[in-house]
Structure formats: C-alpha cells, structure tokens
C-alpha cells in the first residue's frame, strides 16, 4: 500500500467538494411505528428521479427498541442469529430505518411494510401493494444506503474506503481484464478509490439486474478512475445494451464511495441523509 488512508481521505475530500452532497432530512418527531407526513423529502420518486438515502447505523440516538418493534418475525430471527451485538444492532437499525423511510413514502406504519424476496435474494416491496416502486439497499461498516425508483430495477452499493491486502489479486479474480488494466493505469495515490469505484459499480449493476453474484463479475466492465464519470462500459453479450444503463457515483461520506445503477438514462439523483 503506497499511501496512508489519511492521505487517501484528503484527496477524496477535495474531490468530494465537487460532487453532489447528501442533504440531511430529519422526519419531524418520528415515532418510527406510524405517522403520515407531507415532508417533500417523502414525495415518491418520479419517473425521472432516483432517490438515495444514507444513514449511520451506530448513531447512539437511534431508538433500537422501537425500531425492533417494527421488524417482522423473520427479520427478528435474522437479528437473533448475529453473533456480535454490534452487528445485531446494525441490522435492526438498518432494517428499521428502511421500513421507516418506506412507511413515510406511503403514509403507513413501519410495521405494516412487508418484503418479498426473489429466488436470488433481491427484496421487493410486497405490502403496501404498489406497482411503481423499487428499492435496494447496501451497508458497509456503520454506513447504509437505500435507493428507490419509480419501479425501474435499481441496485445500490457502498464500501468504506480502506486498505485492501492483495488488491491486485482480488482485482484479477473479480474484475474484467479491461478493468484490471484501467486500475493499473490509475496513479498509485488514487488506487484504493479506483478499486472501490469498480467494486461498488459492479455490485450496483448486479443488484439492479437482481441476479447478484450469479452474473460473472468479469463478464462486464465499468469505469474505474476517479477522474472519469461512472458508467457501464461494456457488457459481454452484444444483445445487452450497456448504453441504456446509468451508473451514478455516490460519495455518502469522506471515507466511502458507492454507486447506484438503473437501466434508464438522464434521471436526477435526489440525495438525502436520514439523521
Ligand atoms: C447481494 C450481493 C451481490 C451484495 O452483497 P454485499 O455487497 O455483501 O452486501 P450489501 O450490503 O451491499 O447488500 C446486501 C443487500 O443486498 C440485497 N440483496 C440480496 N440479494 C440481492 C440480489 N440478488 N439482487 C439485489 N439485491 C440483493 C439485500 O437487501 C441485502 O440486504 P439485507 O441482507 O439486509 O437484506 C451478494 O450477492 C454478495 O454476496 N456479494 C459478495 C461481494 C463480492 O464478492 N464482491 C466481489 C467484488 S466486485
């Protein structure tokens, strides 16, 4: 590793100043379980928007008990299976806040929300029954991102920037050869950020498609360099049209990068921070 993380963060912080910011949106007097509200932050995503919310899962102000009350029995079972209390708490807070945001969009109680899961594990809103709404989520450390659209398939991914042992070996294993070449072409000082740009863009795409790791990760190519816009460069199958996909770069924190992917162009990114 050629750089300390502090230097990486300093460089990425400079870049962050030029990137779209997440705006804090605190629901008024949120009782977590049920309320209706007319906060414009909770207007549903329209056909030309993507909504992305970020939140911190270790916030000591989170009312874990009340969030837990909103979880379904299967989610409580999942929570109970975590070995470490810290991870259990993060799961409860992450799920509870996801429920809370969706509940606010639809003006229902958070405990009323139901999710269905595809065979490959992608969650979809089952209750309330609505047609034009898709969601996806991702977490890394205590950071969580939630992405919502008008029903277009959507995928989101976030990673905390951190040193990666065997970065080149991991890249060779998971990235396409073009991505590996692009990574090598990035100045050493930008390599960690480039690596996680690539990682999160790939994950966002496979999550939007809904197949997760059933899609070979080296079968498509995304842009990598921090100096270049996020995009899907190439899909292996000529019938798949990379040009119809948008990938948006996200910078939810100075020490984190993310991506949101959607098969649709020219959508406005609406960024919110749940605090
Ligand atoms: C879904 C997947 C693609 C991403 O998982 P991840 O990066 O480990 O975890 P994230 O926090 O970003 O996302 C997890 C969420 O994705 C959602 N998810 C699960 N399967 C999904 C699928 N097939 N499609 C879309 N979303 C899915 C779930 O909501 C899950 O959250 P939950 O467990 O709280 O319900 C997973 O298949 C995976 O195992 N990834 C391994 C990571 C890897 O090796 N990457 C290689 C580098 S490119």
Per the prediction, the chain carries an average pLDDT of 88
- Contacts with 87 (C-beta within 8 Å, 6 or more apart), sequence order: none
Looking at the fold, whether 86 and 197 belong to one and the same domain comes out as no
Give the E-state strand segments of 134-255 in sequence order.
134-140, 143-149, 155-160, 220-222, 232-235, 246-253
- Measure the CA–CA gap between 134 and 132, rounded to whole angstroms: 7
* pLDDT for residue 228 is more than 70: yes
Q: Which residue has the tokens 């509940």?
A: 103
Residue 102 phi/psi, 5-degree rounding, is -65, -40
For 121-180, the pLDDT digits (tens) are: 999 999 999 989 999 999 999 999 999 999 999 999 999 999 999 999 999 999 999 999
Ligand 1 atom with least separation from CA of 208: 25
* pLDDT for residue 266 is more than 70: yes
pLDDT of residue 240: 73
Ligand 1 center–CA 35 separation, angstroms: 30
Share of the chain above pLDDT 90, in %: 76
Share of the chain above pLDDT 70, in %: 84
Last residue of a domain, one of 102, 136, 156: 156
Looking at the fold, whether 125 and 215 belong to one and the same domain comes out as no
Ligand 1 center–CA 118 separation, angstroms: 13
Whether 235 maps to a domain, the answer reads yes
Nearest CA to ligand 1 atom 17: 122
Last residue of a domain, one of 156, 187, 217: 156
- H or E element: which one contains 54? strand 49-56
- Measure the CA–CA gap between 199 and 195, rounded to whole angstroms: 6
Look at the alpha carbons of 126, 132, 137, 143 in this order and tell me if their dihedral is positive or negative: negative
Looking at the fold, whether 140 and 175 belong to one and the same domain comes out as no
Which pairing describes strands 123-127 and 114-117: parallel, antiparallel, or unpaired?
antiparallel
Which range of residues forms the domain containing residue 182? 5-14+160-267
What CATH number does the domain containing 96 carry? 3.90.470.20
Give the E-state strand segments of the chain in sequence order.
23-24, 49-56, 114-117, 123-127, 134-140, 143-149, 155-160, 220-222, 232-235, 246-253, 256-262, 268-273
Strand partners, 238: none
Looking at the fold, whether 173 and 225 belong to one and the same domain comes out as yes
How many domains does one find in the chain? 2
Ligand 1: residues whose CB is within 6 Å? 120-123, 136-139, 155, 157, 174, 199, 202-203, 206-207, 210-213, 217
Looking at the fold, whether 100 and 124 belong to one and the same domain comes out as yes
Looking at the fold, whether 133 and 180 belong to one and the same domain comes out as no
pLDDT of residue 10: 61
Ligand 1 center–CA 153 separation, angstroms: 15
User: Is the separation of the CB atoms in 111 and 31 below 8 Å?
Assistant: no
Residue 83 phi/psi, 5-degree rounding, is -75, -45
- Measure the CA–CA gap between 219 and 237, rounded to whole angstroms: 8
Looking at the fold, whether 69 and 197 belong to one and the same domain comes out as no
Ligand 1 center–CA 199 separation, angstroms: 12
- Contacts with 252 (C-beta within 8 Å, 6 or more apart), sequence order: 22, 54, 143, 145, 158, 258, 273
For 65-103, the pLDDT digits (tens) are: 999 999 999 999 999 999 999 999 999 999 999 999 999
Counting Cα atoms < 13 Å in the Cβ hemisphere of 219 gives: 13
Last residue of a domain, one of 125, 156, 187: 156
The token pair that represents 155 in the structure block: 């995928």
Looking at the fold, whether 24 and 37 belong to one and the same domain comes out as yes
Whether 274 maps to a domain, the answer reads no
74 alpha carbon, distance to own chain's centre = 22
Looking at the fold, whether 59 and 95 belong to one and the same domain comes out as yes
Ligand 1 center–CA 120 separation, angstroms: 10
Whether 275 maps to a domain, the answer reads no
For 183-200, the pLDDT digits (tens) are: 999 999 999 999 999 999
State pTM to two decimals: 0.89
């Amino acid at each position: 590793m050629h750089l300390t993380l502090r230097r990486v963060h300093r460089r990425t912080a400079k870049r962050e100043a030029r990137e779209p910011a997440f705006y804090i949106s605190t629901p008024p007097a949120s009782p977590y379980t049920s309320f209706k509200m007319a906060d414009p932050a909770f207007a549903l995503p329209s056909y030309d928007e993507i909504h992305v919310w970020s939140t911190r899962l270790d916030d000591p102000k989170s009312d874990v008990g009340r969030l837990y009350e909103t979880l379904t029995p299967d989610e409580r079972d999942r929570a109970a299976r975590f070995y470490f209390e810290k991870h259990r708490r993060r799961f409860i807070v992450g799920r509870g806040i996801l429920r809370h945001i969706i509940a606010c969009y639809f003006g229902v109680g958070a405990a009323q929300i139901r999710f269905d899961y595809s065979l490959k594990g992608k969650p979809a809103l089952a209750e309330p029954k609505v047609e034009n709404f898709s969601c996806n989520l991702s977490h890394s450390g205590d950071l969580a991102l939630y992405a919502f659209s008008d029903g277009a398939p959507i995928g989101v991914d976030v990673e905390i920037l951190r040193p990666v042992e065997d970065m080149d070996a991991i890249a060779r294993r998971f990235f396409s050869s073009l991505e590996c070449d692009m990574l090598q072409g990035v100045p050493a000082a930008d390599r960690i950020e480039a690596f996680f740009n690539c990682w999160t863009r790939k994950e966002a795409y496979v999550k939007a498609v809904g197949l997760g790791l059933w899609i070979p990760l080296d079968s498509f190519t995304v842009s990598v360099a921090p100096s270049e816009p996020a995009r899907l460069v190439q899909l292996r199958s000529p019938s798949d049209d990379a040009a119809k996909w948008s990938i948006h770069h996200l910078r939810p924190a100075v020490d984190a990068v993310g991506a949101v992917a959607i098969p649709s162009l020219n959508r406005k990114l609406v960024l919110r921070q749940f605090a």
